[in-house]
Amino acid sequence: MKVLIVDDQPVSRKKIQKIMEVFCECETVDNGQAAIDAYKNAWEGSAPYDLITLDVSMPDMDGTEVLFNIRNLENQSNIPEEKRVKILMVTSSSDKDTVITCIQAGCDDYLVKPLNRETISKKLEKFGLAVSKESEEEWTVRKMIATTVESFKAGEIHLPSMPQVVQEIQNIMNNPTSGVAELTQIIEKDASISVKLVATANSPVYRGVDKIQSVNMAIARIGLKECQGIVSAIANKALYETKNKQFKKLLDKLWEHSLACAYGARIISKKVPPQDEEKGFLSGLIHDIGSVLLLKSLGEIVSPKTTFDETDLINSIYEVHTSFGAYLLEKWEFTQDFVRIAKLHEWTKFDLKTEKDVLIANLADNLAHKIGYGFFDKDEIDLAGLHSTKLLQIKTVALDEIGEELKTIMAESTGAF
């Protein structure tokens, strides 16, 4: 069986390939147009594909468009039904409406992320090919994540509220007549945040000559606008807490990554008009919120004695974290620009109309990985070659400066939160 795997995300693409390559002749492409070209070349070369796995959500041309194009090519060539390529759509659980559209358009079936040997095997059995069963450990990881996502959506797991202080500060910042006094009053209502804000103001990142001893002094040193992002970071840190040691280690690593992305996005935003530094900071802070809530929830419901493959867990979270994060931000009533950041920040290609916020989050995410604050397992990153870097028109010299500044900030912010 000859198979074409179409997915713009390297982790998902490699995972499907790893499962199927023992039993199939696999080829991979990372975008829709490449898939159409590969399909044409294979057919014209008398070596057509038997099966295509097609990711629904891709930049430039999504899976639905690719499906329509391939079926149209088959119709134009009068290819008989029995010789048409079998197409499996690959989707997150939140894209089921799109899958219904795809089935109506002619796909043969669909796979739901996170992918695993068992689900792929069941689909392949329909086409006369079986894959060996997955291990109990592999099944446990996939089941943990899939069950957690569906439990959130069914209301069986309580969705934590974003800290109220974050929204109150946002209201203060949107009021042109408000200042340090009003912001101080809001922050002082939360003793824990007040203490941590003062500690942050005394950290090497912001330290001046005199020791800061009050909230209003901390705001004066940090700055009114920047204080908004710092308080958001302090408040959101609670989402990274768990008593489960297995997941605590992962959440601590993810916190460092999120903080690096927040500071990185702030630095990048300074160089990109209209220079909305605090929106950049918040975007970087919450871009991986889907991963945060999955790990936190798993830490609460999974026994500390449960064994699992950590790499498999992280890769499985990677497959669903963007769509799940977008779902969470919609539930929290974030504006659509933040929802799109969560959903699109892992893309590798963007069109010219892509919002700068998404591009900044993408670059900040990759920059954090590059300097040692990554979370997911990614290939070696060429920052200058990123599509987001090119669209933002950031030069190599500026990238190096941003990276060095971010390294300094992260080193100095250790323990500040």
CATH of the domain at 71: 3.40.50.2300
One domain, residues 90 and 186: no
Among residues 94, 88, 100, 69, the alpha carbon closest in space to that of 20 is found at 88
Mean pLDDT for the stretch of residues 29-41: 95
Predicted confidence band at 113 (pLDDT cuts at 50, 70, 90)?
confident
Kindly report the number of other CB atoms within 10 A of residue 121's CB atom: 18
**Residue 156 located in a structural domain:** no
Q: Which amino acid is located at 48 in the chain? A: P
Mean pLDDT for the stretch of residues 166-180: 81
Give the tens place of pLDDT for each residue, 254-285: 999 999 999 999 999 999 998 889 899 999 99
One domain, residues 107 and 229: no
* pLDDT of amino acid 137: 58
Using an 8 Å Cβ cutoff, are 364 and 261 in contact? yes
Give the tens place of pLDDT for each residue, 212-248: 999 999 999 999 888 888 998 988 898 899 989 999 9
Percent of the chain with pLDDT over 70: 95
**Residue 158 located in a structural domain:** no
Q: Is 322 exposed, middle or buried (0-12, 13-18, 19+ CB in 10 A)?
A: buried
One domain, residues 58 and 177: no
One domain, residues 126 and 168: no
C-alpha separations of 400 from 268, 281, 395 in Å: 12, 19, 9
**Residue 84 located in a structural domain:** yes
Q: Which domain holds residue 112?
A: 2-134
**pLDDT higher than 90, residue 326:** yes
**pLDDT higher than 70, residue 136:** no
* Higher-pLDDT residue of 136, 371: 371
Residue 229, H or E segment: helix 224-236
One domain, residues 124 and 249: no
* pLDDT of amino acid 37: 96
One domain, residues 21 and 123: yes
One domain, residues 251 and 344: yes
Residues in the chain: 417
**Residue 151 located in a structural domain:** no
Q: What pTM was estimated for this model as a whole? A: 0.78
**Most confident segment among 99-113, 130-144, 355-369:** 355-369
One domain, residues 119 and 205: no
Q: Is 165 exposed, middle or buried (0-12, 13-18, 19+ CB in 10 A)?
A: middle
**Residue 285 located in a structural domain:** yes
**Residue 12 structure tokens:** 């998902």
Using an 8 Å Cβ cutoff, are 296 and 239 in contact? yes
One domain, residues 89 and 192: no
**pLDDT higher than 90, residue 306:** no
* pLDDT of amino acid 143: 78
User: How many domains does the chain contain in total?
Assistant: 2
Which value, to the nearest 10 degrees, does the dihedral of the CA atoms of residues 119, 323, 293, 365 take?
Answer: 110
* pLDDT of amino acid 133: 57
> Residue 198: which CATH number?
1.10.3210.10
Percent of the chain with pLDDT over 90: 49
Write down the residue that tokens 């039904």 correspond to.
81
C-alpha separations of 411 from 50, 136, 188, 383 in Å: 52, 41, 28, 21
* pLDDT of amino acid 26: 92
One domain, residues 124 and 273: no
**pLDDT higher than 60, residue 131:** no
**Residue 145 located in a structural domain:** no
CA distance 346 to 354: 13
**Residue 315 located in a structural domain:** yes
Lowest mean pLDDT among 49-53, 82-86, 158-162, 313-317: 158-162
**Residue 147 located in a structural domain:** no
Predicted confidence band at 67 (pLDDT cuts at 50, 70, 90)?
very high
Using an 8 Å Cβ cutoff, are 323 and 343 in contact? yes
